[in-house]
Amino acid sequence: MLNVNKAEFVISAASRKDFIRDGRAQFVFAGRSNVGKSSLINKLLNRKNFARVGGTPGKTAHINYFRVDSVYFVDLPGYGYAKVPEKIKAQWGKMIENYLHTSKQLLRVFLLVDIRHEPSANDVQMYKWIVHQGFQPVIIATKSDKIKKSQHEKHLNMLRQTLGLPDEVRIFPYSALKKEGRDEIYEYMDELLAEQE
Ligand SMILES: Nc1nc2c(ncn2[C@@H]2O[C@H](COP(=O)(O)OP(=O)(O)OP(=O)(O)O)[C@@H](O)[C@H]2O)c(=O)[nH]1
Ligand SMILES: [Mg+2]
């Protein structure tokens, strides 16, 4: 079991020279801007504003590493925010690509999508890219508090269909407001870490 009291911010990496490759396992959180990556990390770590949560999308522009006990949580910059200049978007894209490409110690990539909406072309592309790089994605369907519980199943199926998820890919409904999904995500991480030992 990860001790979340042993959590600290390590580095905000602006380019590959700052990427951490010390052999410790990394759990990575990817997804479009505003989907809730930083909120998820804060809630997982029981912190208020450890990872900066934005009113303005595009808040997280660097790759932020949090050391959590024996592993890292990695907050990726969000993609798909229209108001970011093309040049910056291209830089982020390159950096994310670089990161996935060079990080062998990624234990899982959590791809966050909003439970309410059909995943965008960018989401589908990101999913494919993760698989293509040889990583196993896990989906977190965020903001589950925004729809009725009775609608969850339907929306999860819609996400599965649009992303083209095989049955073995896990999908966790999650709410940063209600902490739905938090225990399940930790249980899953613990299983993975136990397998690794
Ligand atoms: N209702 C609800 N709102 C959420 C939830 N998670 C995040 N939000 C809100 O969504 C907005 C974006 O959240 P962030 O955590 O900053 O999103 P991000 O994915 O880190 O965004 P970037 O850093 O721009 O990539 C904030 O206003 C959050 O308060 C959730 O589970 N439920
Ligand atoms: Mg963020």
Which pLDDT tens digit goes with each residue over 40-79? 999 999 888 777 776 565 556 788 999 999 999 999 888 8
Ligand 1 centre and the CA of 197: distance in Å?
Answer: 33
Q: How far apart are CA 113 and CA 102, in angstroms?
A: 24
Which pLDDT tens digit goes with each residue over 137-158? 999 999 999 999 999 999 999 9
Whole-structure pTM value:
0.93
- β-pair type (7-13, 63-68): antiparallel
- What Å distances lie between residue 78 and 43, 50, 95, 191, CA to CA? 18, 17, 12, 27
**To the nearest whole percent, how much of the chain has pLDDT over 90?**
60
User: Cβ < 6 Å from ligand 1: which residues?
Assistant: 31, 33-39, 53-55, 57-60, 77-78, 142-143, 145-146, 175-177
Residue nearest to atom 11 of ligand 1 (CA): 34
Residue nearest to atom 14 of ligand 1 (CA): 36
Q: How far apart are CA 51 and CA 21, in angstroms?
A: 21
